[in-house]
Structure 1
């Protein structure tokens, strides 16, 4: 009885244009077979301009190519059914003026959102009332409340996003990183279904 070779597809990888995709690039291979090193080096696909930015390597295609080269080999598949290959184009260094414009736009947008929120909930009236309750005096701008509140708002946002420029306060991911991760997961899942040539061929047939 042939010793099985276990193949676990990776969810997604990033490669350069015109890369040669080998089995070890898109999957983990293990087993007691002596053919495992040669199996890992087996070329599955060559990235071309026709592939654009994304290539989907289906596990069924992998099994077909492995069994065609090693007919007596028993293959066991584990994990995901597809590997989404992202082709990274050569990126130019971003313009400092473009970065500055985007930063200014986001800064103004965030400031407007915070000010509109405070206006909707009547934050100034609440702070004036709080000052009156604590001191007995009615003033228009209770700065001893407003200034610490403003500082605390900024510090709270920094702690919430768990970043100060490139510095991370702890190993816990920030909410923004979690949302980006979930978005990438959903995107890879969508692409794996829509761009899978094996699945398209089954539908056409």
Structure 2
């Protein structure tokens, strides 16, 4: 009998015991056997803080074979994966919104500083001065139409590029932030799995 499994590259759980159903999708024509495999325990975290553990899919196959040695396990997912254990923590609304406000302020002032330093570096103020004087025939006296149009265009450009304005998205494509976060997450997982393999800390059939 064939058993098809597809393990996630990384899984986050809030309970110490890891069962098959926590880490993968599974298909088997025998539904009783399928439920039996899904409820099979694969690992148990010790009683301490947040942890992570790297696994080889061979460990999963070994556990499935403990249910029935005649099963043919077909892996459709990655060969290695990570399980994160994070304890449940009840966070107050004040702390939650405080973190959101902090991130917003850092992003706002950080972006503002970057834009200002870029404008200073390329001499945008001098450029606007020369363009205004060339078109109007006289030196500008304070902010003018060029500054206003540049500011509006910059805001529109940021919204279009990041595909995000508040809760509104221009389309269903992931934003550049989401893409970079997924790439960063994948790089972190790959590094952790390589390090675990070199240090022989990965849960494998021979561990």
TM range (shorter): 0.7 to 0.9
Q: Is 1:8–1:79's contact at 8 Å kept on the other side of the alignment?
A: yes
Alignment deviations for residues 72-127 of structure 1 (CA, whole Å, 9 cap, x no partner) = 22222222012321223334242655654554344333222211111111101111
Matched, 1:147 2:148: yes
Q: Is 1:23–1:40's contact at 8 Å kept on the other side of the alignment?
A: yes
- 3-state SS of the aligned residue for 2:54? strand
Q: Spell out the pairing of 1:81-96 with structure 2 (5 A cutoff).
A: 81-91=79-89, 92-93=91-92, 94=95
1:25 to 22, 25, 29: 22
- What TM-score results when the alignment is normalised by the length of structure 1? 0.82
Aligned to 1:115: 116
The total of aligned residue pairs comes to 201
Matched, 1:68 2:66: yes
Task: Please identify, of 142-151 and 159-168, the stretch whose mean Cα deviation from structure 2 is larger.
Answer: 159-168
RMSD, aligned α-carbons: 2.9
Task: Please identify, of 37-46 and 94-103, the stretch whose mean Cα deviation from structure 2 is larger.
Answer: 94-103
- What TM-score results when the alignment is normalised by the length of structure 2? 0.81
Q: Spell out the pairing of 1:31-180 with structure 2 (5 A cutoff).
A: 31-33=28-30, 35-49=33-47, 52-91=50-89, 92-93=91-92, 94=95, 99-141=100-142, 143-180=144-181
Q: 1:103 to 1:4 in 2, by over 3 A?
A: closer
Q: Is 1:56–1:197's contact at 8 Å kept on the other side of the alignment?
A: no
Looking at structure 2, the residues matched to 197 and 5 of structure 1 have their Cα atoms a distance apart, in angstroms, of 30
1:12 to 2, 10, 13: 10
Task: List gaps (5 residues or longer) in structure 1.
Answer: none
Looking at structure 2, the residues matched to 118 and 149 of structure 1 have their Cα atoms a distance apart, in angstroms, of 11
Looking at structure 2, the residues matched to 8 and 95 of structure 1 have their Cα atoms a distance apart, in angstroms, of 34
Looking at structure 2, the residues matched to 59 and 120 of structure 1 have their Cα atoms a distance apart, in angstroms, of 52
Measure how far apart 1:23 and its partner are.
1.3
Aligned to 2:184: 183
Task: Please identify, of 146-155 and 107-116, the stretch whose mean Cα deviation from structure 2 is larger.
Answer: 107-116
Task: List gaps (5 residues or longer) in structure 2.
Answer: none
Measure how far apart 1:38 and its partner are.
1.4
Q: Is 1:9–1:79's contact at 8 Å kept on the other side of the alignment?
A: yes
Task: Please identify, of 91-100 and 150-159, the stretch whose mean Cα deviation from structure 2 is larger.
Answer: 91-100
Q: Is 1:4–1:33's contact at 8 Å kept on the other side of the alignment?
A: no
Relative contact order higher in (CA < 8 Å, ≥ 6 apart)? 2
Q: 1:190 to 1:115 in 2, by over 3 A?
A: same
